[in-house]
Amino acid sequence: MSETLLSSRNLAFELYEVLDAEGLTQRERFAEHNRETFDAAIGTARSIAEKFFAPHNRKGDEHEPRYENGEAILIPEVKPAVDAFLEAGFLNAARSFDAGGMQLPTLLSQACFAHFQSANAASTSYPFLTMGAANLIESFGTDEQKQRFLQPMIDGRFFGTMALTEPHAGSSLSDIRTRAEPAADGTYRLKGNKIFISGGDHPLSENIVHMVLAKLPDAPAGVKGISLFIVPKFLVNEDGSLGKRNDVLLAGLFHKMGWRGTTSTALNFGDNGECVGYLVGKPHHGLSYMFQMMNEARIGVGMGAVMLGYAGYLYSLEYARERPQGRVPDNKDPATAPVAIIQHADVKRMLLTQKAYVEGSFDLGLYAARLFDDTTTLATEAERKQAHELLDLLTPIVKSWPSEFCLKANELAIQILGGHGYTREYPVEQYYRDNRLNPIHEGTHGIQSLDLLGRKLAQNGGAGLKQLIRLIANTAERAHFYESLTPLREPLEKLVARLQAVTIGLLTDLGQGKVNSSLANSALYLKVFGHTVIGWRWLEQAIRAEEGLAKGNAADVNFYKGKLQAARYFLTWEVPGCHHELAILEARDDVCLGMQHEWF
Amino acid sequence: MSETLLSSRNLAFELYEVLDAEGLTQRERFAEHNRETFDAAIGTARSIAEKFFAPHNRKGDEHEPRYENGEAILIPEVKPAVDAFLEAGFLNAARSFDAGGMQLPTLLSQACFAHFQSANAASTSYPFLTMGAANLIESFGTDEQKQRFLQPMIDGRFFGTMALTEPHAGSSLSDIRTRAEPAADGTYRLKGNKIFISGGDHPLSENIVHMVLAKLPDAPAGVKGISLFIVPKFLVNEDGSLGKRNDVLLAGLFHKMGWRGTTSTALNFGDNGECVGYLVGKPHHGLSYMFQMMNEARIGVGMGAVMLGYAGYLYSLEYARERPQGRVPDNKDPATAPVAIIQHADVKRMLLTQKAYVEGSFDLGLYAARLFDDTTTLATEAERKQAHELLDLLTPIVKSWPSEFCLKANELAIQILGGHGYTREYPVEQYYRDNRLNPIHEGTHGIQSLDLLGRKLAQNGGAGLKQLIRLIANTAERAHFYESLTPLREPLEKLVARLQAVTIGLLTDLGQGKVNSSLANSALYLKVFGHTVIGWRWLEQAIRAEEGLAKGNAADVNFYKGKLQAARYFLTWEVPGCHHELAILEARDDVCLGMQHEWF
């Protein structure tokens, strides 16, 4: 039977041939683990995802959450699925043994989680959001806050959300208006409205812990005046029992294009002046706390986009293998039997493109997860800092590239199924609709491009960028060993050289205060930078495939040849196309910036 | 108030400044018309579209047709809308006065129809399909068939469908299995199953006339053995009254991603052996009849894609003008007021891209409609033939280019609205879902690319292509008059020259029997050819804009400057990018063709 969530052969390739997951077990934190414990965790994830998450993916789309008497009602299948996830320990997969976790590397917890994201993006969101909220309290909360709010989240009794966006401000967090007034007892009273809060209400847990951005009365204007608060749906007594309902009101649900199984809520804080919140960390540091947790969250979002692409790719691949239709062009004889559509060149193109996008960004997402492990478990502070610098730089790509290109993959999956792909009788159109959220939430595509070009590149004197260039050069050098890889390596080297020059030029302009013109075409920069990174990852995969082929295991030949062909596709069909965007960037072309709004 | 369906200034620009609609009134057939009658028809179309079609566009999506007791049930708003359309005469806008029509040029009937397509793609489909079916009978039916089936369609009492696709065959029409056995009375008995038949059942008309492709018992294999039949839902007595129900069964409805208001049906013909059909024209000529009507149908489909793009563009433009959020990058002062998002460079990019795609293909669709008028009303047979050759060549682009790029425009409209764009509280996500059908139906994107490269280019010794090249050269020559247009003209000239060389190479290969390798990358060829055509149309629009500016009408300055900027965007940002695809085509790159199915 064919696999529907991801290719386990490909996952093993990533973990054990590309990313050296076993090497991590040499580190003290992961010393109790080995390939067997890794594979056991993955096997459990796959089986729970297949048994509890995949079967209600369509139903969750068709029966989206309803608003009833101030509560959000979900289909009954979500809770048993989430419970099975909790029971198997995946919420705390990366947490320490002594905190009740599995102490897995993030690389492995992400690999496990990927199965759920592929099976059912919507139901998977509830624990995903909880992990994010829990990590914030774990990193910045007081012991008492941990005791009262974090522990029940770890235990799976409380779920969490991130409440940032406000109706009038959208991405512009500096303009949020939610206020927090200090109360006599050291807590705060919040007042304001938040929208698009995923998981903002549901019946899956005893309590919901909202991590809310708000401003104190003495807050300076802008992003440096934002503080972070814990605002539970139900207050929690000192003994841990639930107290009365807090003044957080579910004002309504949004009805989305896709990802419908996850409640997207409008929440009113303090309509009755009684919304109790607890300050996390220092006043006015809320946004920097959020940003410190964003790398991990954005890896998760990026991997979510990858996995929706993966699910669509595998489905359309299977369909193309089994669907007979038409004949290859040089056969004009209608009496011959039709061929499977996978034999048609244009269907091959659409499958190969999907493979290149999906497996390229799957590799990058896992690479980033491993880098995250490096930031916490490498031996020296200097090494950890270095890992951090690279991860910071790559994060906008990890989040945005699959959001754009695995969404494209979903479009191609629909196209391969033709009229059937356009119907809700087949799953591929839902994958597209679900995935369409990813370029919007957790920092829109435009925000990511400004983050990369306007912030990340120059951070720490460009340390992350220099490191990336060295890593790419190292991969290219190792590729020299295989003459067959020359036509794949050369386009990448050419692109990197020119990208470097363009980058220096743009950063120089930025340094000289030409801010608007330098950032005007940041979307093109994001695309080229992303293609460079994914091109690098494909060259790395190609080297590993050549190494694998050299081992001569007959059962693996097709797998490795497929890898080499996808690498060839990406490096010769996609990478060279980026010179066009680089030319526009080099010219500081102002056709978009110069467009006047009266001219539209 | 801002316009929501299309910009009437832009439509006037197309009709009276670019496409010389008034010139058509010099022709005998259109002699009774003038600019006033044209504008009156357009005004009526706009007002009916706004009043009857736009208001239920979302409702039709939310309440898709239901299957009940063998019938399809629609929301009640569809019938009054369609009735208003019929009453105003738009079904017969292009038909002769003496046949009860308005005798408008197709250019004008298409311009009118565009308003309905923008307002409500789904409800507009019912009359659109009826027009197609009626045109088939008009062109190839007997007088008796016209009397019995066409006249009630013209009168709006009968509606029509096109029934081609079968479950096992999809795009491969040569493999259809529906059979037609001759009966003693000169009629036929049909037996077979069709799927994805749009408008295959509904309560909007007294009767539904299905135009069905089927095979006679003595049919040769393949496309040359397909015949065309009239198969009415209700038989029609000699006096024109309805007879008994024919043996055509609504087997079920498909549930689509979008375009939900149009029934997509599975029809069973002859389950009880009593499905009566009437042969249209000669046996075995059915597909050629269909093909002869396809230019017109495909202009309509292409324009449908354009208009969904147009609706999304206008909505996101209005939103961007009114939504304050954030500040331009060089303003770091959070105390200043937020700007409208139309001031952000990346939002300008997304709007300008939409404008370039939408107005570029709007121009092409109308150009093709005018060419259609040329095929019927130019003075000499030679001129009409020439127009036909060009139209034949352009049809795959007219159909496929907006299906791909106005769909992209819809993605950008969603992105501009951000989280709101992703909700069903705003219309843009529906435009995307509706438009996603267009690259699939009426010949998939892949089929269009094979039609262009494998058939149309070489037709009549490449007469159409030669004509196109001459027309582009003519436009480029006139562009020389404006020095400001040099940077727009040069990229187009460069692209055309290289495209010509690549085309000759591919046609030579085809001539030498290298069929599979020549056609393998046809999708890339389609893209480049399409960009060349749209680039040409943008250069033409730019010339007209310069001419307009020279007239010095102050009220028009912003309009013309917007045209010039969009032309500059398309010709300098999009056109040069095509050299990458041309390089792949030149190399006869086989990375996709060479991919083996075992390697996936």
Residue A204 CA, chain-centre distance (Å), reads 23
Instruction: Print burial letters for B535-547: b (CB count within 10 Å at least 16), e (below 16).
Output: bbbbbbbbbbbbe
Within 10 Å of residue B297's Cβ, how many Cβ atoms? 21
Residues 543-582 of A with CB under 8 A from B: 558-559, 561-562, 565, 568-569, 572-573, 576-577, 579-581
Arithmetic mean of pLDDT, A394-404: 98
Cα distance between residue A528 and residue A355, in whole Å: 19
Which tokens sit at B325?
């959020």
Residues 222-241 of B with CB under 8 A from A: 222-223
Of B174, B349, B594, the CB nearest to A523: B349
pLDDT of A131 > 80? The answer is yes
Dump the DSSP string for B436-496.
TTTTTSSS-HHHHHHHIIIIITTHHHHHHHHHHHHHHHHHHHHHTT-GGGHHHHHHHHHHH
Cα distance from B211 to chain A (closest Cα, Å)? 20
Pairs across A and B, CB distance < 8 A: 268
Of B419, B558, B599, the CB nearest to A565: B599
| Eight-class DSSP state of A268 | E
Task: Kindly list the residues from chain A whose CB atom is less than 8 angstroms away from the CB atom of residue B164.
Answer: none
Of B255, B445, B562, the CB nearest to A415: B445
SS3 of A201, please? Answer: coil
CB contact under 8 A, A519 and B168: no
* Helix H or strand E encompassing A276: strand A275-280
Q: Which amino acid is at B598?
A: E
Of B419, B519, B572, the CB nearest to A345: B519
Cα distance from A383 to chain B (closest Cα, Å)? 34
CB contact under 8 A, B446 and A347: yes
Residues of B with a catalytic annotation lie at 442
Cα distance from B383 to chain A (closest Cα, Å)? 34
Arithmetic mean of pLDDT, A161-166: 96
Cα distance from B526 to chain A (closest Cα, Å)? 12
Q: Which residue of A has its CA nearest to B342?
A: A597
CB contact under 8 A, B592 and A349: yes
Determine contact: B84 vs chain A, CB below 8 A. Answer: no
Determine contact: A263 vs chain B, CB below 8 A. Answer: no
Q: What is the ipTM of this complex?
A: 0.98
Determine contact: A486 vs chain B, CB below 8 A. Answer: no
* Helix H or strand E encompassing A78: helix A78-87
pLDDT of A572 > 90? The answer is yes
For the stretch A314-363, pLDDT in tens is: 999 999 999 999 999 999 898 999 999 999 999 999 999 999 999 999 99
Of B326, B422, B595, the CB nearest to A437: B422
Residues 376-415 of A with CB under 8 A from B: 411, 414-415
What pLDDT sits at residue A294? Answer: 81
What pLDDT sits at residue B295? Answer: 80
Q: Which residue of B has its CA nearest to A169?
A: B325
| Global pTM exceeds 0.95 | yes
Residues of chain B falling short of pLDDT 50: none
pLDDT of A1 > 80? The answer is no
Cα distance between residue A549 and residue A556, in whole Å: 7
Determine contact: B325 vs chain A, CB below 8 A. Answer: yes
Are A168 and A175 within 8 A, CB to CB?
A: yes
Q: Which long-range contacts (CB under 8 A, 24 or more apart) does B500-508 make?
A: B500/B469, B502/B528, B502/B582, B502/B585, B502/B586, B503/B457, B503/B465, B505/B586, B506/B453, B506/B585, B507/B457, B507/B458, B507/B462
Vertex A225 angle, CA A219 and A228, to 5°: 105
Are A307 and A121 within 8 A, CB to CB?
A: yes
Which tokens sit at B285?
């000529």
Cα distance between residue B93 and residue B106, in whole Å: 8
Determine contact: A171 vs chain B, CB below 8 A. Answer: yes
What pLDDT sits at residue B1? Answer: 55
pLDDT of A291 > 90? The answer is no
Cα distance between residue A247 and residue A286, in whole Å: 21
Cα distance between residue B184 and residue A433, in whole Å: 53
For the stretch A359-379, pLDDT in tens is: 999 999 999 999 999 999 999
Are A259 and A433 within 8 A, CB to CB?
A: yes
Of A172, A445, A595, the CB nearest to B338: A172
End-to-end CA distance of chain A: 54
CB contact under 8 A, B424 and A256: yes
Determine contact: A129 vs chain B, CB below 8 A. Answer: no
Q: Return mean pLDDT, chain A.
A: 97
Arithmetic mean of pLDDT, A131-158: 97
Q: Which residue of B has its CA nearest to A418?
A: B440
Q: Which residue of A has its CA nearest to B343?
A: A597
Indicate which residue of A296, A442, A540, A581 is catalytic. Answer: A442
